[in-house]
Homo-oligomer: A and B are copies of this chain.
């Protein structure tokens, strides 16, 4: 197993996503929630953070994407959407959770 990282900050506003990637080990999962879901958008100035992070699996909370009007066809390839039940499963199926606020 590996760790689950949660990121709730817009990558345009704070470096939490960058940190989560930098300090995570191969095999880690990174879940984007709240304003963190902006990091899942393709075609932005920071898309390469997620698109270029090999060996990490990315998830985004669907409820938070929808609230912000981000359609699924705007997402970076490979980002998987979860609901809160899926969030719980991710927590259970990883060694521990690291919140990068």
Contacts and interface: CB of A to CB of B under 8 A. Distances in A.
A73 interface: no
Nearest to A12: B15
A68 interface: no
A94 interface: no
Contacts of A15: 13
A69 to B, nearest CB: 23
Nearest to A16: B13
A96 interface: no
Contacts of A66: none
Contacts of A13: 14-15
Interface string A3-26: 000000000011100000000000
